[in-house]
Chain A
Amino acid sequence: MAYSEKVIDHYNNPRNVGTLDKADKNVGTGLVGAPECGDVMRLQIEVGADNVITDAKFKTFGCGSAIASSSLATEWLKGKTIDEALTIGNMDIVEELALPPVKIHCSVLAEDAIKSAINDYRVKNGLEAIAMEKSHH
C-alpha cells in the first residue's frame, strides 16, 4: 500500500515523541489499543493555566498510519484548550493524513487517546470523566 506524503512525513519525522511524568497532577495520560490488536498508543498532555495544553507527547506501537495519527494529534493538541481538544474528531485526522479506509481505525485510536488523556487529567483534578463515544467503532 502506498502511504500519503503526510503519513510518510510524520512517520519519518515524528513530532513530540517522549514521556511526561504521569504522576504529575498536570499531566493526563491516555493508553489505548492492545498489543494483540497490533496498535497501542500512549498520548500524554500537560495542562497549564486556563486549561491550555502546554505540552503533548506520544509513543505508539503500530503501523505507519498509527504512528502518524498520534504524531499529528500531539501537534494539534499543543496550544489548544481542553475544550478545543475535545472537538478533534477522528475524521479530521483521516482527512489531514489522507488515510485509506483500512486505516481509519488508527484515527479512531488517536481520538480515543486524546479523550482518554483528557479524562485522566480531569479525574486527577477532581473533575468528572467525559463519556467516550463508542459509536464510531
Chain B
Amino acid sequence: MIIVRKDFLYLCATNKRTEMKQPIYLDNNATTPLDPRVLEAMLPYFTEKFGNAASRNHAFGWVAEEGVDYAREQVAKLIGCTEKEIIFTSGATEADNLGIKGVFEMYKEKGNHIITAITEHKAVLDTCKHLEKNGARVTYLGVKEDGLIDLGELEAAMTPETILVSIMYGNNEIGVIQPVKEIAAIAHKHGALFMTDATQAVGKIPVDVIADGIDLMAFTAHKMYGPKGVGALYVRRKNPRVKVTSQMDGGGHERGMRSGTLNVPGIVGLGKACELCRLEMESESKRLSALRDRLETTLNKMEESYVNGSTQHRLPHVANISFKYVEGEGLMMAMSDLAVSSGSACTSASLEPSYVLKSLGLSDELAHSSIRYGLGRFTTDEDIDQAIAITEKAVLHLRELSPLWEMFKEGIDLSKIEWAEH
C-alpha cells in the first residue's frame, strides 16, 4: 500500500509554480503532463496488481489482464472501434512502424506502392524510406499553402499497385487537420488501405474510425495526459479485415501482431486518459480554442507577424506564428519563462529549418522565425496573458538587436541584398 498526497500529484501535473518558479508550459504538442487521475488509476498496477497479463493460471495474472481489458474498452470507446481492433505498442512511433511495415509485408504481393505526404512525422517518413530500400515505391505528396494535401493530386497518384495511403490526421507543428474522410474514400475507391497517424488528434477532436473510414491508426498516451512509453495501433477487423505482419516476434501477444509482455500500468494509464478525453473533450476543446484564438489574434497584431497553416481546418490547441526579423531560437532564449518550441534550425546540427513549414511555401527566413504554442488541459487564462506579454516583450527586444529589422524599417528590400556565402 502506498500513499501519495493528492495535492502533490496535482501540483506536479498542473505545473503549479510554487517554490521554484517554473516556466509556463505551452509545448503540449511535444508531450502533455500526466493527469493526476490517470496516475491514480495506474499506481496499483505498479504495486499490488503487478501481475503479467499473460499469466493465465493465477489471480495475479487475471487482475492484470482485467486492467488491460478494461483499458482496451476505454480506448475502443474513444475512437469508435471494438476492443479486438486495438494493438498496444510502446508509442506512436512503433505503431506507425507496425502499421506501415506490417501492411507492406502483408500485401506486397498485391502491390508495392505507398502514398504519404511530405509533412508527415519522421516516424512515417523514415519508415517509408526504409521500405524504399526493400522494394517499395513511395509517393510523397506536397501540400498546399494551408498545409492540406490536394485531393486531386492524391487521386492522380493512385495506381493499381497502391496498397496503402498514409496521411496524418492533425499536424504536430501547425495543427492542420487533413480531410481524412475524403482521403479514405479515394484510397478505398482504388483498392488501397488508409492509415493515419492520429497522434495529435486523438483525444483532442472527435475521431471515429468507422465514420472516417480509417483502416489503421497510430496514436499515443503521452499527448493526451497519459504516460510516455505506451501507444496503440488500431487495425480494422471488418470491411475489410486488415492484417499486418508483426514487427516484434515472440510470445504471440496482441493476437500475434505485437509480442512482448504488456506494459500493464502504461496501458491502464492510456485507457484512463482516453476515457477522460472522451468525457471532457468537448468542453476542453472549446475552452482551448478560445484561449488559442486570443493568444493568436493578439500576437498577430504585432507588426510583421504571420500565422502559419490553415486557420480553418485545425486542432483547437495549436498556434504557429512567425515573427519576422527575429530568429526562433534566440527568441525562445529571451522567453525563458515560457516553454514553447520553434521551427528554427539552430537547435539541430543540420541548420535546416522545419521541413513542415518549408513545405507550406514559407521562406527559410520565416521558418527560422517561427514559434509553436501548444496549449493543454492545464493551461489557464492567466498563462495566456503572460505568454502574450512575454512574447511581445521578447520580440520587441530582439528586433532592437536585429540588423534585418533596422533595414526593414529603413525601407531596404532584403531580397535584393546579395548575402555573403555562409
A interface residues (Cβ-Cβ under 8 A, vs B):
1, 3, 11, 14, 17, 19, 31-42, 59-64, 66-67, 102, 105, 109, 112, 116
Residue B182 CB within 8 A of the other chain: no
Supply 6 A–B pairs (Cβ within 8 Å), ascending by A: A33-B420, A35-B365, A35-B368, A40-B402, A40-B404, A59-B401
Question: Which single member of A3, A34, A38, A59 contacts B333 (CB below 8 Å)?
Answer: A3
- Per DSSP, chain A at the interface is mixed
A39–B422 CA distance with the chains assembled, in angstroms: 9
Q: Who on chain A is nearest to B368 by CB?
A: A38
Are A66 and B403 also in contact (CB < 8 A) when A31-B420, A37-B351, A38-B344 are?
no
Q: How far is the CB of A41 from chain B (nearest CB, A)?
A: 7
Q: How far is the CB of A83 from chain B (nearest CB, A)?
A: 23
Question: Which single member of A38, A60, A109, A116 contacts B402 (CB below 8 Å)?
Answer: A60
Q: How far is the CB of B399 from chain A (nearest CB, A)?
A: 9
Question: Do residues A63 and B330 form an inter-chain contact, with CB atoms below 8 A?
Answer: yes
- Told that A60-B401, A61-B404 touch, could you supply 6 new A-B pairs with CB distance under 8 A? A11-B334, A33-B420, A35-B368, A38-B368, A63-B344, A64-B330
Nearest 7 pairs between A and B by C-beta? A36-B364, A34-B419, A42-B403, A63-B329, A59-B403, A63-B346, A35-B365
Question: Which single member of B325, B347, B403, B422 contacts A109 (CB below 8 Å)?
Answer: B422
Question: Do residues B347 and A32 form an inter-chain contact, with CB atoms below 8 A?
Answer: no
Which residues from chain B contact A63 at a C-beta distance below 8 Å? 327, 329-330, 333, 344, 346
Which residues from chain A contact B347 at a C-beta distance below 8 Å? 1
A26–B416 CA distance with the chains assembled, in angstroms: 26
Are A59 and B402 also in contact (CB < 8 A) when A35-B414, A67-B330 are?
yes
Are A34 and B406 also in contact (CB < 8 A) when A3-B333, A11-B333, A63-B329 are?
no
A102–B326 CA distance with the chains assembled, in angstroms: 20
Residue B363 CB within 8 A of the other chain: yes
Which residues from chain A contact B155 at a C-beta distance below 8 Å? none
**Chain B 391-422 interface 0/1 with A at a Cβ cutoff of 8 Å (1 = within):** 00000000011111110000000100001101
A112–B420 CA distance with the chains assembled, in angstroms: 10
Which residues from chain A contact B68 at a C-beta distance below 8 Å? none
Residue B20 CB within 8 A of the other chain: no
Residue B345 CB within 8 A of the other chain: yes
Among B348-389, those with CB < 8 Å from A are 348-349, 351, 353, 363-365, 368
Which residues from chain A contact B405 at a C-beta distance below 8 Å? 61
Question: Do residues A116 and B329 form an inter-chain contact, with CB atoms below 8 A?
Answer: no
A35–B366 CA distance with the chains assembled, in angstroms: 9
Question: Which single member of B329, B368, B401 contacts A14 (CB below 8 Å)?
Answer: B401
A64–B419 CA distance with the chains assembled, in angstroms: 21
**Chain B 70-107 interface 0/1 with A at a Cβ cutoff of 8 Å (1 = within):** 00000000000000000000000000000000000000
Which residues from chain A contact B404 at a C-beta distance below 8 Å? 35, 40, 61
Are A67 and B422 also in contact (CB < 8 A) when A38-B368, A61-B325, A105-B351 are?
no
Which residues from chain A contact B364 at a C-beta distance below 8 Å? 35-38
Which residues from chain A contact B330 at a C-beta distance below 8 Å? 11, 61-64, 66-67
A105–B346 CA distance with the chains assembled, in angstroms: 10
Q: Who on chain A is nearest to B331 by CB?
A: A63
A19–B404 CA distance with the chains assembled, in angstroms: 12
A105–B363 CA distance with the chains assembled, in angstroms: 21
Question: Which single member of B345, B402, B420, B422 contacts A61 (CB below 8 Å)?
Answer: B402
